[in-house]
A and B are shown apart, each in its own frame.
Chain A
Amino acid sequence: MSIDKDTAARVAKLARIRVEEDALPDLANEFNNILTFIEQLSEVDVDGVEPMTSVTPMALPRRADVVTEGGDAGPVLSNAPDAREGFFAVPKVVE
């Protein structure tokens, strides 16, 4: 798999990370290095092997349907750059 400049720009945009035009070729190159390294894994035959989701035998922890949190907008909003009348206030998002 080869990443070109346009793909690098697209990935950056999807991640909302600003990358200047002249930095894109290097970024694409870095992506390619990473992917080439990862692609070594495809040499391993994993036919019939279940994906490993945990290194120790663990079950997914579960909680009961009980309200244990919330009830106070104060701490939730305390890091917000702007909040009004209990809402987060963000630059206008227009559909």
Chain B
Amino acid sequence: MLDLTYETPKPKVIAGAKHDWELVIGMEVHAQIATKAKLFSGASTEFGAEPNSNVSFVDAAMPGMLPVVNEFCVEQAVRTGLGLKAQINLTSAFDRKNYFYPDLPQGYQISQLYHPLVGEGEILVDMQPGIARLVRIERIHVEQDAGKSIHDMDPAMSFVDLNRTGVALMEIVSRPDIRGPEEAAAYVTKLRQILRYLGTCDGNMQNGNLRADVNVSICRPGAYEKYQETQDFSHLGTRCEIKNMNSMRFIQAAIDYEARRQIAILEAGGKVDQETRLYDPDKGETRSMRSKEEAHDYRYFPDPDLLPLELEQSWVDNIAATLPELPDAKKARFVKDFGLSEYDASVLTADVDSADYFEKVAEGRDGKMAANWVINELFGRLKKEGHDITSSPVSPEQLSAIIGLIQKGDISGKIAKDLFEIVYSEGGNPEEIVETRGMKQVTDTGAIETAVDEVIAANPAQVEKARANPKLAGWFVGQVMKATGGKANPKAVNEIVAAKLGL
């Protein structure tokens, strides 16, 4: 299926005052599972509802309420695991992670520490055409989200909204296989792309539906290779975890800052403390959350309210049988079947809606021409007006018709752009527009001959010059095109002009 070969990118090297340093990064991505109801209750997961309206008594942790697992959450997490070529654990279990915070009414988060639902998998992270990093996934577990605390509405009080409490999350944990800030952002981008293809998470980072904790450490060149050989972490530096980032830009800036902070400490003869840090986008720096460290001793134990989660292999197989075509496979197919460059195929498969749109346009058309029109004309135009592909004023059928008219020779590429503008702003059937507005290319050689004769008759001096210097024939072609309103077939005009001038 996947036969794109790739080379491994070089790790990012930061020059310190004394030595060169390399980065080692592992990520924990929290992805909200796309479902209607919460993980253990029948309350809605809809974003933007009135405060505390999407809350059941289970979510509010009223005494005596018991959690009942939403089977579709499990299915979505399994689907994600399969999409990341991961091992699915037919037996997993839920544990309690204990801590006190106002937006966690239970006093514990139900998570999966000891027996996660999904085991080892992998993600191929594309950097540039032909260059990609294979990042290993350690595990995916399912857990509850916490609520939201708002600290700035009142000087003395914090306000708590439990709408998010109990919404299902997948925590997707990578191995420390990421080697630079750009790779980290590319990893999240690729993961998000796969989740959106699978339909298991909408990937909306602004709403916090996808957020990342980043573990950063630094090491001297060569140390990482020793770690990869032995899987012995002692070859690597002490890591710091930067919590809860929901922007690709912040992820990169935070990693860069954090690496330089650690380099400065080590080069000054100091020692990096393993700790949790927070990125402050306003100041562009990370700072310690030491308060959190002290308070947090989670005392995990198996949740006595929930039996182990046992799955049937046949149930998992049914999910596997309905997996959609994923980005890597789609990209490889676009390259192979439509003759696209890897770059164009990447652009078109970046999200599934664009890919579907392109395939509809390309059906029965020249693939490369279809790709050019979608990427250069349509995407360019949509971007300018802040539309996305799903709200494109030009349907794939309309764009396909425009390309069909070019391929048939009914219109030139230049007229096609005018036609595209008309369809974009006014709508309508491209074939009809071409007919009713007389945009059709003149391929009738009789009509072109007449036009050429007229231009030749009116410009005897130019004729003399062109006969002496055949390069000047282009002037006649231009005049004929002008006389026919750009509708003459340029190839036919060239031939007829040459013939009439006797060149």
**Chain B hits for A65, CB < 8 A:** 35-37, 70-73
Q: Is the CB of A62 within 8 A of B60?
A: no
> What residue in chain A is nearest B45 (Cβ atoms)?
A67
Within 8 A of B (CB), among A55-74: 58-73
Q: Does B161 contact A (CB under 8 A)?
A: yes
Q: Is the CB of A71 within 8 A of B53?
A: yes
Q: Does B51 contact A (CB under 8 A)?
A: yes
Q: Does B297 contact A (CB under 8 A)?
A: yes
Most buried by A among B70, B72, B157, B306: B157
Q: Does A90 contact B (CB under 8 A)?
A: yes
> What residue in chain A is nearest B278 (Cβ atoms)?
A95
Q: Does A18 contact B (CB under 8 A)?
A: no
Q: Does B56 contact A (CB under 8 A)?
A: yes
**Chain A hits for B160, CB < 8 A:** 87-90
Complex partner residue of B158 from A14, A60, A75, A93, CB under 8 angstroms? A93
Within 8 A of A (CB), among B271-329: 278, 289, 291-292, 297, 299, 302, 306-310
Q: Is the CB of A70 within 8 A of B56?
A: yes
> What residue in chain B is nearest A63 (Cβ atoms)?
B68
Q: Is the CB of A73 within 8 A of B37?
A: no
The distance from the CB of B353 to the nearest CB of chain A, in whole angstroms, is 23
CA distance A88 to B93 in the complex (A): 32
Q: Is the CB of A69 within 8 A of B56?
A: yes
**Chain B hits for A67, CB < 8 A:** 36-37, 42-44
Q: Given the interface contacts A64-B72, A90-B102, does A95 sit within 8 Å of B289 by beta carbon?
A: yes
Q: Is the CB of B52 within 8 A of A87?
A: yes
**Chain A hits for B60, CB < 8 A:** 76
The distance from the CB of A26 to the nearest CB of chain B, in whole angstroms, is 22
Q: Is the CB of B50 within 8 A of A73?
A: yes
Q: Does B41 contact A (CB under 8 A)?
A: yes
Which of B148-156, B336-344, B458-466, B476-484 touches A?
B148-156
CA distance A65 to B73 in the complex (A): 8
The distance from the CB of B441 to the nearest CB of chain A, in whole angstroms, is 55
Complex partner residue of B310 from A60, A70, A77, A92, CB under 8 angstroms? A60
Q: Label chain B's interface by main secondary structure.
A: loop
**Chain A hits for B100, CB < 8 A:** 16
CA distance A58 to B53 in the complex (A): 34
**Chain A hits for B53, CB < 8 A:** 70-73, 86
The tally of residues in A whose CB lies under 8 Å from a CB in B reads 37
Within 8 A of A (CB), among B34-87: 35-37, 41-44, 50-60, 68-74
CA distance A49 to B459 in the complex (A): 103
**Chain B hits for A94, CB < 8 A:** 151
Q: Does A42 contact B (CB under 8 A)?
A: no
Q: Is the CB of A60 within 8 A of B52?
A: no
Q: Does A85 contact B (CB under 8 A)?
A: yes
> What residue in chain B is nearest A75 (Cβ atoms)?
B57
Q: Is the CB of A88 within 8 A of B52?
A: yes
Q: Given the interface contacts A16-B100, A73-B51, does A90 sit within 8 Å of B158 by beta carbon?
A: yes
> What residue in chain A is nearest B308 (Cβ atoms)?
A53
The distance from the CB of A66 to the nearest CB of chain B, in whole angstroms, is 6
Q: Is the CB of B151 within 8 A of A93?
A: yes
**Chain B hits for A84, CB < 8 A:** 154, 157, 159
> What residue in chain A is nearest B76 (Cβ atoms)?
A65
Q: Does B101 contact A (CB under 8 A)?
A: yes
Q: Does B394 contact A (CB under 8 A)?
A: no
Most buried by B among A53, A62, A69: A69
> What residue in chain A is nearest B163 (Cβ atoms)?
A70
Q: Does B186 contact A (CB under 8 A)?
A: no
Complex partner residue of A63 from B44, B71, B98, B156, CB under 8 angstroms? B71
**Chain A hits for B51, CB < 8 A:** 73, 85-87
**Chain B hits for A91, CB < 8 A:** 156-158
Q: Is the CB of B162 within 8 A of A76?
A: yes
Q: Does A82 contact B (CB under 8 A)?
A: yes
Q: Is the CB of B159 within 8 A of A92?
A: no
The distance from the CB of A50 to the nearest CB of chain B, in whole angstroms, is 10
Most buried by A among B51, B58, B292, B310: B51
**Chain A hits for B302, CB < 8 A:** 53
CA distance A90 to B159 in the complex (A): 6
Q: Is the CB of A63 within 8 A of B69?
A: yes
CA distance A58 to B73 in the complex (A): 21
Q: Does A54 contact B (CB under 8 A)?
A: yes
CA distance A41 to B23 in the complex (A): 47
Complex partner residue of A92 from B57, B151, B161, CB under 8 angstroms? B151
8 CB < 8 A contacts A-B: A53-B302, A60-B69, A63-B42, A69-B56, A73-B50, A87-B161, A92-B155, A95-B292
Given contacts A69-B42, A84-B159, 9 further A-B contacts (CB under 8 A): A60-B69, A62-B70, A63-B37, A63-B68, A65-B71, A66-B36, A73-B51, A87-B159, A89-B160
